[in-house]
Structure 1
């Protein structure tokens, strides 16, 4: 099956790379600030944004068939469930 969607140009790659640098800088800055229990939450939220950018743009998942997107989603949900079970076990011991 041929792909009819247009892949991004170099400008998009450079902008996404700059966004990743900015988000990394924000993550490092947040790590140095004591926000209590929200520090980890904010860092994980920023990491989720960065991973979405990498997966969609650099790994070209945005331009793949729907079945690839479904499997990426299912593997992400499986990982999320594993994290939730692990952290709930850690918190309630």
Structure 2
């Protein structure tokens, strides 16, 4: 019964965060609109990965394999931004 409660709470959190994403789109925040939407999407993706993909209960090695591609993505983004910054 406790597992269903966790899934229900995560589902409700995902609904609230989806509503927050829609609400943010109506505000004029300039460049911060994309940043806020990406932050909310990251939180939602983390919730999905931890609870619905069961990464929360896995050993640290499996969690490392899940996080490593995010590190590589961050390196690629920073490298691209640095290249564009110094042109």
What TM-score comes out, normalization by structure 2 length?
0.84
Of the three residues 64, 75, 79, the one matched with 2:73 is 79
Of the three residues 17, 24, 29, the one matched with 1:30 is 24
Find the counterpart in structure 2 of residue 70 from structure 1. Answer: 64
Does 2:24 correspond to 1:19?
no
For 1:9, what is the secondary structure of its paired residue?
helix
What TM-score comes out, normalization by structure 1 length?
0.79
Gaps of 5+ in 1: 1-7
Q: By percentage of residues, which structure has more helix?
A: 2
Distance 1:43 1:88 in 2: 23
- Report which structure shows greater RCO (CA 8 Å, sep ≥6): 1
RMSD (Å) for aligned C-alpha atoms: 1.8
Does 2:36 correspond to 1:42?
yes
| Counterpart mapping for 1:3-14 below 5 A | 9-14=3-8
Gaps of 5+ in 2: none
